A = this chain, B = another copy of it.
């Protein structure tokens, strides 16, 4: 039988650029959904953040932040910064995307061993970020 299960993860960020591992929260939501086969969408309703999947290794997390900063250039005189100060974060969110999708197989998130799920903060610190996790499929 077709089923949709949805929950929202909320979090606080403490730095301008930060990667927050939400894998356990997402996996718990998939378990609670009781959906056996389907997909799980992890969606940040934010235009200055993104969602990625990759390895939770401290050096790599620094590398990813270094890479993103160099790519989107927070200190450049972007036009949007005439009315705000976060053009870089909007560009990063647009390009990297604010969602990732995963298959759900036998009731579990079918991610690779090194694919942890992260919220990418690019305009922090922020007291409130939310991530919608939706599981669709058959129970």
Contacts and interface: CB of A to CB of B under 8 A. Distances in A.
How many copies are assembled? 3
Interface string A60-82: 10111001100010000011111
Given A4-B138, A47-B112, A80-B60, A105 B91 contact: no
Binding site secondary structure of chain A = mixed
Nearest to A77: B63
Nearest to A62: B79
Contact of A100 (B63, B81, B97): B97
Contact of A110 (B3, B60, B105, B132): B132
Nearest to A52: B94
4 tightest Cβ-Cβ pairs between the two chains A and B: A59-B79, A45-B112, A47-B114, A60-B80
17 contacts: A38-B136, A39-B136, A41-B103, A45-B111, A46-B114, A47-B113, A53-B93, A53-B97, A57-B83, A59-B80, A60-B78, A60-B79, A60-B90, A64-B94, A95-B95, A99-B102, A105-B132
Interface of A: 1-4, 6, 37-39, 41, 43-48, 52-55, 57-60, 62-64, 67-68, 72, 78-83, 87, 90-91, 93-103, 105, 110-115, 132, 134, 136-138
